Amino acid sequence: MAVLPAAEIRRAVRHALEEDAGQGDVTTSSLFPNRVPAEGRIIAQQDLIVAGMAAAVQSFLAVDASLALTVVKKDGSRAADGETLLRIDGDGRSILTAERVALNFLQHLSGIATLTDRFRQAVRGYPVAILDTRKTLPGWRAIQKWAVTLGGGTNHRFSLADGVLVKDNHLSLLPQKTAIRQACTLAKRSGGTRMPIIVEVESLADVAEALTGQADIILLDNMTPVMVKKAVRMINGRALVEVSGGITLNNVRAMAAAGPDRISIGALTHSAPAAAMTLELEPRDAKPKRRR
């Protein structure tokens, strides 16, 4: 599991609160001019992998450092439908002000971790890694990729500087007959630290070109499981095999069975549904509800 730097959490929380509460919470201040002792609980409304708890805690404390927070489910832990994730005690006005930002972090990041876990469970038994991509929200890449690791996934490149990945649009600007081999040659000749050369291919002919160019990783783009299996046999261990494009929970196991080393899935970060959860708030002197 990757460790998310505290500075990344503080930055994200600061920007989120500036956006949502930078000019105050007019509803709460209108209704409650004085302190309102209250207790709140964030409760899971589905089975999920918790991610974003550290950011949620920081969101509440950034609004009001006097709030008492009890983390029931830490980042990376599993939670069942109905379980309490976080307890908050203090001024209800502060809880209301921070509520949406805290839930945004928890719901979005837990959604990513939970979806990643579902993909990992779908390929159980096969020695294949589930990877994310660079299809992330601007400014949220570090925390989204962190959520992927909480779900058992592996991070692909963090930026354009983290590896050579030759895609179709790169190849379109090179002489077509030898584009893949030429791209590999040019990448190897370039200065700097030696990095893996990944080449995206769309056919078995492209696979042959990538092998001739001695690519380190051959990325099979939008191929069927049958085609992937043929490509894996053709490559025969001379390069790592990655599969990408159109990967869903319905076809990922068939892709894994075809024998690739890794499967990269953009949907982990750009299309993960938000995890269902809610914040229940009540006056501190109210009759306590049954807790799990």
- Here the CATH number for the domain that contains residue 208 is 3.20.20.70
Please confirm, yes or no, whether 135 is among the known catalytic residues: yes
Using CA atoms, how far residue 111 sits from 50, 79, 104, 172, 283, in Å, is 8, 12, 10, 36, 30
Tally of domains within the chain: 2
State phi, psi for 74 to the nearest 5 degrees.
Answer: -80, 165
d(CA 170, CA 256): 28
User: Is residue 131 located within the same domain as residue 243?
Assistant: yes
Q: How is 61-124 classified by DSSP, letter by letter?
A: HHH-TT-EEEESS-TT-EE-TT-EEEEEEEEHHHHHHHHHHHHHHHHHHHHHHHHHHHHHHHTT
Which residues form the domain of 228? Answer: 120-270
Q: Given the residues 11, 78, 87, 100, select the one marked as catalytic.
A: 100
How many other β-carbons are positioned within 10 Å of the β-carbon of residue 228? 21
Residue 278 phi/psi, 5-degree rounding, is -145, 160
Annotated catalytic residue: which of 35, 74, 167, 291? 167
Whether 64 is catalytic: no
Q: Report if residue 291 sits inside a domain.
A: no
Per-residue pLDDT 10s for the chain (292 aa) are 567 778 889 999 999 999 999 999 999 999 999 999 999 999 999 999 999 999 999 999 999 999 999 999 999 999 999 999 999 999 999 999 999 999 999 999 999 999 999 999 999 999 999 999 999 999 889 999 999 999 999 999 999 988 899 999 898 888 777 789 889 888 888 754 578 899 999 999 999 999 999 999 999 999 999 999 999 999 999 999 999 999 999 999 999 999 999 999 999 999 999 999 999 999 987 555 555 5
Catalytic entry in 11, 87, 120, 135: 135
127 and 59 in a single domain? The answer is no
Q: Residue 198 is inside which H or E element, if any?
A: strand 197-201
Active-site residue identified among 200, 206, 216, 242:
200
Claim to verify: residue 168 and residue 86 sit in the same structural domain: no
Q: Which tokens in the block code for residue 53?
A: 């708890």
CA atoms within 13 A on the CB side of 13: 23
Q: Which of 206, 221, 242, 253 is catalytic?
A: 221
Task: Report yes or no on 290 lying in a domain.
Answer: no
Claim to verify: residue 138 and residue 264 sit in the same structural domain: yes
DSSP string, 41-77: EEEESS-EE---HHHHHHHHHHH-TT-EEEESS-TT-
CATH number at residue 110: 3.90.1170.20
- Quote the pLDDT of residue 287: 58
Judgement on whether residues 48 and 164 belong to the same structural domain of the protein: no
100: annotated active-site residue = yes
pLDDT at 192: 47
pLDDT of residue 188: 84
Q: What pLDDT does residue 115 have? A: 98
Q: How many CA atoms lie within 13 A of 73 on its CB side?
A: 24
As beta bridge partners, residue 166 has 199
> 101 lies in a domain?
yes
- State if pTM tops 0.85: yes
Examine the domain organization and report whether 39 and 58 are in the same domain: yes
